[in-house]
């Protein structure tokens, strides 16, 4: 994937990933009314160039593989492409996480439990993007983050304690992403206490 393609896909997702928009929403920037559907039921109007359901499904299925193909263990390579894909994951999580959660978590778990550190980094970047989508939510809207903590903190604990990571030349970039994921969840005190092992390991690792 080229930088131009990644940036264009990011722009399309940012502007046109929508199920349906109301008439009032059509006044927002980048909203283009579809004249053929201007009289559709319940005052709903679709964007003329809205992403189709088929394309949405394909993107949700393939986005993790796309990240695998460009991710490196340092930020020096493919930085713009990686950032664009992370932004797409973030936006999908914000808009359609409930229907995507099981598949997304399965894909990330597969990567975090592989011995290949490039796939581990890809999984960490994807997980960080989803955590980021819920970082500033409160009350019920924050529940997905609670579930992510329960599901993935034990996996991150295991990764942090592994001899392979401790002795890896890529220890620092992997640790940085684990730390970012942790610090996105620090407001959830009850979940911090239930995963005190991860906190202890992180503090020791960052000393």
Strand partners, 47: 33
Element containing residue 44 per DSSP (H, E): strand 44-45
- The pTM is what? 0.76
Report residues of the chain scoring pLDDT below 50.
19-48, 189, 193
CA distances, 101 to each of 59, 148, 169 (Å): 14, 10, 32
CA distance 2 to 207: 39
Check residue 16 and give its pLDDT.
Answer: 81
Q: Which of 63, 100, 103 is nearest to 85 (CA)?
A: 63
Are 135 and 90 in contact, with CB atoms under 8 Å apart?
A: no
Check residue 200 and give its pLDDT.
Answer: 58
Check residue 46 and give its pLDDT.
Answer: 46
Check residue 186 and give its pLDDT.
Answer: 74
Check residue 73 and give its pLDDT.
Answer: 60
Q: What is the DSSP letter of 142?
A: G
Element containing residue 34 per DSSP (H, E): none
Task: Name the residue with tokens 């990011």.
Answer: 10
């Amino acid at each position: 994937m080229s930088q131009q393609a990644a940036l264009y896909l990011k722009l399309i997702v940012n502007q046109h990933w929508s199920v349906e928009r109301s008439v009032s929403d059509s006044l927002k920037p980048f909203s283009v009314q579809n004249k053929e559907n201007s009289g559709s039921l319940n005052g709903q109007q679709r964007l003329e160039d809205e992403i189709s359901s088929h394309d949405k499904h394909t993107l949700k299925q393939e986005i993790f593989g796309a990240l695998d193909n460009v991710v490196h263990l340092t930020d020096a390579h493919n930085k713009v492409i990686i950032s664009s894909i992370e932004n797409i994951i973030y936006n999908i999580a914000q808009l359609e996480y409930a229907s995507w959660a099981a598949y997304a978590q399965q894909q990330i778990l597969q990567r975090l439990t592989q011995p290949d550190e490039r796939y581990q980094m890809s999984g960490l970047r994807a997980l960080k993007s989803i955590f980021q989508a819920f970082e500033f939510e409160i009350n019920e809207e924050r529940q997905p983050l609670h579930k992510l903590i329960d599901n993935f903190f034990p996996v991150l604990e295991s990764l942090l304690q592994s001899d392979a990571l401790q002795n890896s030349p890529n220890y620092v970039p992997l640790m940085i992403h684990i730390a970012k994921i942790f610090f996105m969840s620090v407001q959830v005190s009850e979940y911090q206490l239930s995963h005190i092992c991860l906190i202890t390991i992180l503090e020791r690792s960052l000393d």
